[in-house]
Structure 1
Amino acid sequence: MDSRGDIREFLTTRRARLTPEQAGLPNFGGRRRVPGLRREEVALLAGMSVEYYVRLERGNGAGVSESVLDGISRALHLDDAEHAHLYDLVSAANEGTRATRRRKPTGQQQVRPNVQQTLDAMYHVPAIVQNGRLDVLAANRLGFAVFSEMYAEPQRPANFGRFVFLDPRAQTLYVDWEDAAQQTVALLRSEAGRAPYDRALSELVGELATRSGIFRELWGSHDVREHRTGLKRIHHPVVGDIELTYEGMNLTSDRGLLLLAYTAKPGSPSHERLQLLASWAATSDEAARTLPTHTGAADDA
């Protein structure tokens, strides 16, 4: 990943989306050569010189303080995920080649037995554990059942990015596929800011960019987000439409891993269908063949 280039593109796209009116600046009319705010307007709002801001937008984060980044975040109306992403990009650019030397050798990332035991105890709640690359490292039986279409392909670990952009089944499973695609890219963008020297992540992004024009277009938008809570609407091939809310919880003893638990509103049609899916997963011969107890290990860079 090119951290300096990412700083430039991220700041450019953020100011391009913000009008002077939205930023609280007077609009004196006339033709604007660039969409959104000008660099000097961002500098004014952030309380710094134009030269200083231009240097940062060109990718030079040397000596940039937290207060400067806070000022830019306020000026550009960055949300929490974007604010954190800007910090990550500047930090990575400052580390430079030193971070490359500190990169850990490729190993095996596994979910601890206690975590798998916790997942398996959540009988009525679909639950999975994923890393920042969106590899699914573990799940309980109902979690596998909900995302059974993703396991139709043999590649392991299953990965939401590959599924969403490279598997045609995803466009049927996700009722709001366009939204799922945007969220997936935004999550991978956030991870790229946190881990710019993750070789497996770079390879994944390269694969998706090569094979999917939609991914390339969304990747160029530089949108980011955090995976904490939200709504998933899926059309399951066995039970039909299910609407699920999810909550994400970091595993404090396993840095970089996130446990996602999905629930349906009690008494709703989605809740009834989720119960049917649980019965199918527990008794169906097809489910027994396609839904493993756990995923095993995944490469970690």
Structure 2
Amino acid sequence: MDIGAHCSVPACHQQDFLPFTCDCCSGVFCLDHRSYDTHECPKAGSHDRRVVQCPVCKQMIRWTAEQDVNVVWEEHVRIGQCTREKLQQQKAQHKKPKKKRCAADGCREVLLTSNQFHCNKCAQDVCLKHRFEADHACETKRQAQRQQWLGGFKSRASTSAKPKTSQFQKNAQNAAASVVNGTKSAVSSLVQNAKAAGSAVTATSEECPMCHQKFAYVSQLIAHVNRTHPDNSNSSRPSAATSHPVARAAAGAGVPAGSEVCPQCRAVFPNLTALIQHAETAHTGAVAAGRAGAIDQEKCSIM
């Protein structure tokens, strides 16, 4: 029959319809003699792959059971495979890339494209939870970086400095000190002048007779009375005796005690209410100019 094959073992020679072929000696065997030990394969172990680690370059060297491990290692060294460069290349290939983590203290979150934030002030990459300046101590790290930069700059300057540089530094320091002293004296004189001007304005300022608040201009006083004391200003209207011609006549005759004088036209009025009504009707342009001056003065004081 052409189906199957006979076993290659002489003592067996059994015909097997599903024979086995040995991958080492290429013999045909039955089910009972298919293993290496049962048919005593002379080439058993030829496909066995073993490795030994080189003690110099840490590479794995393959060898079989039929070979001597010492001979294999000597061949590995002789052909030039055992080098330090090979070891470094192997370490670089097996080295895992370091994961980028958050720069905030105590945070170990891995930074990816979607959860990282770059701080423009301290130039650090942090996670979204520590993106604010107070959360990742931005100012402290900026100062540390500044001190480190200044320290490196000073060290480089000290190493590259020449003996003649000391005299140049002294001259520069003296010039800087003179400039600073001149600036301080100029600033102190400006402050004293400003204080003197402020005291002069305070001495010649106008005072509200109701709340005793002082103003630099009459227009400010009038606006204050109209805004703060409207009841007192509207309680009495100017009578015929306080009209403009009569007031001018009274001014020519003499200023009685307790009367008010207009600073614009020197007209005399018996009370402050009449003076305010006169200023609103006769000196409207002066009041507007005074208000503009007050606004400019407030702007100057703010600046």
Shorter-chain TM-score: what band?
under 0.3
Greater relative contact order, per chain length (Cα 8 Å cut-off, separation 6+): 1
